[in-house]
Amino acid sequence: MKNRPFRERLGFAVSGIRFGWIRERSFRVQTALAIVAALALLLLRPPAIWWGLVALTIALVLALELVNSAVEALVDLLHPAIHPEVKAIKDMMAGAVLLISIAALGVGGALLFDRFILSGVLP
């Protein structure tokens, strides 16, 4: 796989995203939430820094969801039996997705606070 042309490597990446979409309901849910966040940006029209923060947060959530799915699939393949270490690995990956999702909610909350409270729209 090393030293492949960029176009081929890009194809692998797109294929990985497609597998995530097809195989993982959580990835589809996170993608739907990302679309809602992007629509909120279009509606609120915040300064560019907020666009960057939200875009970065969306990318982190979706990327970590793919990493979580990949690690879970690999662990299941290598050790299909129920085992305490397998559970710990899966739980830690789920925890990582949860933490970045909470951070995403924090960014969204800060954006709304900035747009409505600090801007004086709401008392």
Correct CATH for 24-118 of 2.170.190.11, 1.10.357.10, 1.10.287.3610, 3.30.1370.60: 1.10.287.3610
For residue 45, the SS3 value is coil
Q: Where are the domains of the chain?
A: 24-118
Whole-prediction pTM value?
0.89
Taking the C-alpha atoms of residue 100 and residue 31, their distance in angstroms, rounded to an integer, is: 14
Taking the C-alpha atoms of residue 68 and residue 40, their distance in angstroms, rounded to an integer, is: 27
Query: Each residue of 36-86: pLDDT tens digit?
Result: 999 999 999 999 999 999 999 999 999 999 999 999 999 999 998 889 999
Mind telling me the catalytic residues?
A: 65
